[in-house]
Amino acid sequence: MPYALVPDGYKLQKVTKDQKVAVDKHVSNEAVQAFLDGPASGELVKAVAIVVTPIVLAALAKGPLTEGADKLTTNILNSLGIDLSALGEFNI
């Protein structure tokens, strides 16, 4: 049987596998909530915006989809069983 720090008083005790999973999920949720409530989450958003914005702007500056991306999209749609050939050609 595994051991876990049970949140009720944080005592170490033997638990079943299901109880261990529940405790692990609880601790994980608390850690995520603590991160989101803290100042670091705002800094993370700023960092992601600084990194992602130039990439998005560069992609937009290239204009419409290139032929390679168009073929890739067509292959994906075909593999899903979606046939757009009846629509004819169109530009995005």
Q: What is residue 12's predicted lDDT score, i.e. its pLDDT?
A: 79
> For 19-43, what is the mean pLDDT?
85
Q: What is the pTM of this model?
A: 0.41
- DSSP class of residue 76 equals H
Q: What is residue 90's predicted lDDT score, i.e. its pLDDT?
A: 53
- The more confident residue out of 86 and 22 is 22
Tell me what percent of the residues of the chain surpass a pLDDT of 90.
0
CA distances, 66 to each of 28, 32, 55, 59, 73 (Å): 43, 40, 16, 11, 11
